[in-house]
Structure 1
């Protein structure tokens, strides 16, 4: 069966109308095997999900999530984006957040691999964007996929409000809208999948050793209370520790870089505990790890979306389209002008190739050179 990839976008005010229109544009009269849906919180409704599914025939596999905005070649902002894929062997799983822990959710989501057949495989993960231990989901999925099958995806968004995220799911028989869920979709086919990852940040200052941490919370850096050294070296006033909102605004564009063989993984710091003098991120920063403060190279940060897509395309022989997962904090760091420029560069780099993406609460790549959860980063998946 011939493989194809289509993208549709609608900003119609009515969520159901937007979903139906975006799906119709993405499918273009073809028979889809998998839908991947991105929707702003205002459009992340059961009516929208049902309309998308019905427009595609009512019996198609579907995964999707709420976002902090989405983008295609036709523009960026709110509304609904539908990515439709046909011709691959596909399978899906959904794990409600109340059903199990994140490690077990990753195992269950990646078990969709059991139901696909093909020379080349990939697992697409859509995670719970409000979890503070997202790495556990990736670790669980890795126990199923192993080193030979890449994991790629992003975590659901909520317009950076921290109010809750939603996932859209169908195994072909009905439609579910689930809060804070973990979804998995396996794709398999005769051609390789390409993965790109870029961020555009660079390390600055002297390295530090994480001398005490637990999961995403860092208690000590170089044997000193982590909050104290963080505020001192980022120029933050001590009063920030007692104002969660002000601390978040200060910290989101002053991340840490975690040393990896392939460079640095970004760790966004989003909260501080003034009593324990600790700082917290959205992914594990293990004891003994070496970290740096990171600075943005503005032009490289702007170009990261296009660069990630280019890297993904370079790994496939005949690309059909690209899915992109772009950190929701990057628009805050870039501002409206920089965000618009990043989207424009992506459009120019990809020419007429279809693509769909969303601003996510964490980006996922698990392959030999990248260990799982990323932040302030762009991840791209090219299909061929």
Structure 2
């Protein structure tokens, strides 16, 4: 990674101290040392590894920066220009000075009562705050229950947000279209727990939307490397996230025929490392562009029902999908190519910070890749601004010109730029 020259408008710091209070203070001190402005930090973006007590980390941070709003949440690991890791002790913070303006922070604590309803409430509030292209960061607690693990799905939350902002509402008003980027927070790769920081404290079953000041714009790239290996097929039978039929044939039969192998019930995890089910947005006949695909991991198979169960319940009867090859080499090349392209995209702008939201499953400990794709990111990025990244459960980013969507097995690289 290119060396950062001097100080930055946003300070980023990292610690992997096993003491949570010291980790929060260390990360804050290191971030403050990078701030160019004499202003005190006005708010903080923070991500904490799952082995830390978040309240203790927060106390350590505030011993350095005071009682400013803190947003973000748990993370399976972090990525900064100083390095990356997922031991569970990582803490990474970004300090934002008042010179850049103050964000609006919206919180909804009702995920347990319904993700779609929580999203609608956030969307209704966003509609009055976030105009077109305004950058909004969304963080939500990924874990609805831990024994057994049960997720808060992202798709009804995001759909609810767009409903609340006026998408298809028939109200006569024009829906707002912010640049929405975000993630589901989790503490580790085993889906043990999750939480978000809501501005004041860590919380469960909550979603937080951060409307950045109008002078901050964003460029975003979706990096996954999954490529289609089938023709377009229509989902003809589905219930929630369980897909029963593709083109009128049992879904598992179709997958087995494509792979040339029999798939047992306990092969679900191995299958997720080989293929995903992808939905292409925009012109279906346009050249391949990974930024146009929403891919869904296959969580499990049911040989008796000949079905596959996906990570999210957002595909519907009539959805047109393709089988996508998921390959570690393609993943790494996608990061290399996508970061180089982003370097060129922002070369004429005033970058403030690069935010990297990385699916925890892409870490080599989960994917089996011989190369850490986060290391490729650090090798290739050449943006004169600090980097703050973390490992997430779900990634959210703009997929087409209309809206953002939840993603699986994806790295989302967003560069915040100053347009003031």
Q: Same fold (TM over 0.5)?
A: yes
Query: Residues 182, 369 of structure 1: CA spacing in aligned structure 2 closer, same or farther, 3 A cutoff?
Result: same
CA distance in 2, matches of 1:235, 1:180: 42
Aligned equivalent of 1:77:
85
Q: Is the 8 A contact 1:112 1:186 kept in 2?
A: no
Q: Is the 8 A contact 2:79 2:374 kept in 1?
A: no
CA distance in 1, matches of 2:16, 2:248: 51
Aligned equivalent of 2:65:
56
Q: Is the 8 A contact 1:110 1:185 kept in 2?
A: no
Answer yes or no: is 1:148 the counterpart of 2:177: yes
Answer yes or no: is 1:186 the counterpart of 2:211: yes
Aligned equivalent of 2:171:
none
Aligned equivalent of 2:269:
248
Aligned equivalent of 1:301:
331
Q: Is the 8 A contact 1:89 1:189 kept in 2?
A: no
Q: What do the CA deviations read for 1:340-369 (whole angstroms, capped 9, x no partner)?
A: x54244343235521111121111014516
Q: Is the 8 A contact 2:27 2:91 kept in 1?
A: yes
Aligned equivalent of 1:381:
414
Q: Please say which of residues 36-45 and 144-153 is displaced more in the overlay.
A: 144-153
Answer yes or no: is 1:21 the counterpart of 2:50: no
SS of the residue aligned with 1:368? coil
Query: Residues 44, 201 of structure 1: CA spacing in aligned structure 2 closer, same or farther, 3 A cutoff?
Result: farther
CA distance in 2, matches of 1:286, 1:119: 28
Q: Is the 8 A contact 1:90 1:116 kept in 2?
A: no
Query: Residues 352, 150 of structure 1: CA spacing in aligned structure 2 closer, same or farther, 3 A cutoff?
Result: closer
Answer yes or no: is 1:90 the counterpart of 2:120: no
Answer yes or no: is 1:139 the counterpart of 2:159: yes
Query: Residues 158, 323 of structure 1: CA spacing in aligned structure 2 closer, same or farther, 3 A cutoff?
Result: same
Alpha-carbon offset, residue 108 of structure 1? 3.5
Q: Is the 8 A contact 1:72 1:355 kept in 2?
A: yes
With normalisation by structure 1, the TM-score equals 0.86
Q: What do the CA deviations read for 1:210-263 (whole angstroms, capped 9, x no partner)?
A: 11123322121121222333344335544x31x3xx422332442111121163
SS of the residue aligned with 2:41? coil
Aligned equivalent of 2:75:
67
SS of the residue aligned with 1:140? helix
Q: Is the 8 A contact 2:180 2:404 kept in 1?
A: no
Answer yes or no: is 1:319 the counterpart of 2:351: yes
Query: Residues 276, 136 of structure 1: CA spacing in aligned structure 2 closer, same or farther, 3 A cutoff?
Result: same
Aligned equivalent of 1:337:
370
**Aligned positions, number:** 372
SS of the residue aligned with 1:209? strand
Q: What do the CA deviations read for 1:59-93 (whole angstroms, capped 9, x no partner)?
A: x1221121221111111113111122221330212
Query: Residues 157, 237 of structure 1: CA spacing in aligned structure 2 closer, same or farther, 3 A cutoff?
Result: farther
SS of the residue aligned with 1:353? coil
Alpha-carbon offset, residue 125 of structure 1? 0.6
Query: Residues 18, 307 of structure 1: CA spacing in aligned structure 2 closer, same or farther, 3 A cutoff?
Result: farther
Query: Residues 17, 115 of structure 1: CA spacing in aligned structure 2 closer, same or farther, 3 A cutoff?
Result: farther
Q: Is the 8 A contact 2:46 2:72 kept in 1?
A: yes
Alpha-carbon offset, residue 191 of structure 1? 4.6
Alpha-carbon offset, residue 202 of structure 1? 0.7
Answer yes or no: is 1:269 the counterpart of 2:298: yes
Q: Is the 8 A contact 1:90 1:115 kept in 2?
A: no
Q: Is the 8 A contact 2:351 2:383 kept in 1?
A: no
Q: Is the 8 A contact 2:24 2:57 kept in 1?
A: yes
CA distance in 1, matches of 2:46, 2:306: 40
Answer yes or no: is 1:365 the counterpart of 2:370: no
Query: Residues 144, 305 of structure 1: CA spacing in aligned structure 2 closer, same or farther, 3 A cutoff?
Result: farther
Aligned equivalent of 1:103:
116
Query: Residues 105, 270 of structure 1: CA spacing in aligned structure 2 closer, same or farther, 3 A cutoff?
Result: same
Answer yes or no: is 1:128 the counterpart of 2:141: yes
CA distance in 2, matches of 1:259, 1:351: 30
Q: Is the 8 A contact 1:209 1:290 kept in 2?
A: yes
SS of the residue aligned with 2:113? coil
TM-align CA RMSD: 2.8
List aligned pairs for 1:27-46, cutoff 5 A: 27-28=32-33, 30-46=39-55
Q: Tell me, which stretches of 5 or more residues in structure 2 are unaligned?
A: 1-7, 144-150, 166-174, 283-288
With normalisation by structure 2, the TM-score equals 0.79
